[in-house]
Chains A and B, each alone.
Chain A
């Protein structure tokens, strides 16, 4: 194999491919990236056996072939070369020579590769359903839900985002059992999808790949999901499990509604959070008064913080407490200048949504006030 490709397109692709590789893998071949020529392009592949990525980049193919190379070193070498074309050639002993076409830099690297035969053969996905969605919309939906995904290992079903498609409406829902994020968006497709849970990892990578223009293609088979974004393909297994009955925990109505000014609230929260207890919950107390909110925190070992901020609220006084992390995650997902929170009492789920939009909301369970 011998190819010439630009440094910039190589670096971009190699970084996406490297992200898929798990540092902890017990199988050394999976620390490698597979490079293979396809017509007049170079295909870059990596996998951790659960997620796989395939990226096609333009290349001047001098001779066809394939090789797998240790991902970390390959990426480091390509990054260290100047912004010019890079030549890669593989000899019969799988030794790969990498050098820059730049006349000033005469560096040459020889690294040992492992032949393609030793690399896993990625399964072809049987696309049973396919639909398309604007990249920007998909990116928004993932960004506004993914933070609520559970990272704990005991309940696999909530280690991903649930995807539903019905009546031309795509829905993403994520929860860790204490909070939930929910977003709907229109798509132009008549297919129906239910009971699909997509692992965090593939969506987190997809988030980095999605742009603000163009369409993304999503296909499903019985146990796999496939994304095609421009020249990048991502394939992941689906999570096999039962997602919680989330509709049952969404309150029908709220007794009190409060309007917040997004930036003011975000800044106040960041300041007051400085003195929450270092331990997991990071409790922040809200004391609502007419058009004013006192945000406070205290750590018995360090001290306490409080800040008054302006809100829009006319009802009677009440108190409630939340985890600062949960509040910050949700407010960070808000794109409007104002946002709304709905409350029933200090021990039931509170809702947080953008002002003027019904497509997206978060539920957060409070921390009990002792």
Chain B
């Protein structure tokens, strides 16, 4: 693990804060920004004044009004937030080129290189907070830690307007006494399962073996095992803004999903579909993209360019999972997997290629061609 060089910056109640800044009449009042302000709407972001009454993101407007009858509902201006967000991201970029926006109001920064200039990460964090305050009249919370996972937990630890440095030497003692639900992506349902097993704190979670977790949660179990130990190997990937011709599949879910295992299954199925279409077109893609639309219609995309083009679903799935691990896990409404950057049909062979895997996937294609697309499935996609 490296030193405490990763920052996670989370804007405080971003949508609500922008509204309160732009419209002084909302300042100091409980407000809730919603996609639609009628009874069927859902709260995207509530101001801290509203949170005191228990009004939270993802809460139906109906419930929110019951909790806080004088709540002001504000129609969201999402273009405006994007505009402000881009300017804030520019501020981050002036401290390090390695800025990964993980959503409209959050970003990870790797400041390893910038330490030569600014001496320590805490100093950088203070300067960023000051500039956000001076230039945007907004506040943010910053977590500083040895990796992205810990930085995210740290930024959430002292909200709002917080700054928390989680030192490498204190990671274990810090994590041990946190409640399991503090781990990013570990939703209420999963937490409930753990509570029933007497697992309340992270240190309880550490008593569960890797095998046990994997049996319960699949790949996500492996992730939980690592999270409980503060392990996260993902790197800060700077955002890239290009789009080009692509083959992609996406699916809108009939209800919002937070459960990691279900998401994994959907991503696997989408990867399979994209890979098959690539093989049908005799194309290999060099760029793999993940698209996620959250319950509040915030949409984010992440993409990465592979060192060699692929048409294998296993490779696409693995890549997409890696990308997925870089974003925040909130209720998801839509998932998409895309591929682009196609190589021409000529097949440049690879030195380190996995020939067995390619053979298996091509055989699966021919079975599907003869017997229909549901004739053969991955075991993990079978319904119970």
Contacts and interface: CB of A to CB of B under 8 A. Distances in A.
Contacts of A150: 307
Interface stretch (B23-31, B109-117, B194-202): B109-117
Interface stretch (B250-258, B294-302, B331-339, B341-349): B341-349
B308 interface: yes
B94 A177 contact: no
B97 interface: yes
B116 A47 contact: yes
Interface string A323-360: 10000000000000000000000010100000000000
Contacts of B117: 27, 29, 49, 119-120
B346 to A, nearest CB: 5
A178 interface: yes
Interface string B73-115: 0000000000000000000011111000000000000000110
Contacts of B305: 152-154
Contacts of A154: 304-307
A281 interface: yes
Q: Give chain A's interface residue range (CB within 8 Å of chain B).
A: 35 or more
Contacts of A158: 307
B97 A120 contact: no
Contact of A27 (B95, B286, B308, B349): B95
Nearest to A159: B307
B371 interface: no
B350 A177 contact: yes
Contacts of A283: 346
A199 interface: no
B321 to A, nearest CB: 14
A184 interface: no
A316 interface: no
A81 to B, nearest CB: 31
Contacts of A363: 351
Nearest to B355: A347
B308 A24 contact: no
Contact of B348 (A153, A155, A323, A349): A323
Interface residues of B, number: 25
A25 B307 contact: no
Given A120-B116, A154-B305, A158-B307, A26 B349 contact: no
A281 B113 contact: no
Interface string B218-258: 00000000000000000000000000000000000000000
Nearest to B344: A279
A313 B346 CA distance: 28
Contacts of B347: 367-368, 370
B93 A26 contact: yes
B93 A249 contact: no
Given A121-B116, A277-B344, A249 B351 contact: yes
Nearest to A249: B351
Given A27-B95, A47-B116, A177-B307, A366 B349 contact: yes
B126 to A, nearest CB: 17
A49 B307 contact: no
B342 to A, nearest CB: 10
Contacts of B345: 370
B39 to A, nearest CB: 46
Contact of B116 (A49, A249, A281, A323): A49
Interface in B283-338: 286, 304-308
A60 interface: no
A217 B304 CA distance: 38
A122 interface: yes
A150 B286 CA distance: 14
A175 interface: yes
A27 B94 contact: yes
B232 to A, nearest CB: 15
Interface in B116-168: 116-117
Interface centre among A119, A153, A370 (most CB of B within 10 A): A153
A283 B346 CA distance: 8
A103 B245 CA distance: 62
A178 B93 contact: no
Contacts of A76: none
B69 to A, nearest CB: 47
Contacts of A123: 116
A122 B113 CA distance: 11
Nearest to B349: A365
A368 B346 contact: yes
A12 interface: no
A14 to B, nearest CB: 21
A180 interface: yes
B84 to A, nearest CB: 19
18 contacts: A50-B113, A120-B117, A150-B307, A154-B304, A175-B351, A177-B307, A177-B352, A180-B351, A277-B346, A279-B343, A279-B344, A279-B346, A365-B349, A367-B347, A367-B348, A367-B349, A368-B349, A370-B345
Given A120-B117, A178-B349, A365-B350, 10 more contacts: A121-B116, A150-B307, A154-B306, A154-B307, A177-B308, A177-B351, A178-B351, A179-B351, A244-B352, A249-B352
Interface of A: 24-27, 29, 47, 49-50, 119-123, 150, 152-155, 158, 175-180, 244, 249, 277, 279-281, 283, 323, 347, 349, 363, 365-368, 370
Q: Which 3 residue pairs of A and B lie closest in terms of their CB atoms, listed nearest first?
A: A49-B113, A120-B116, A368-B347
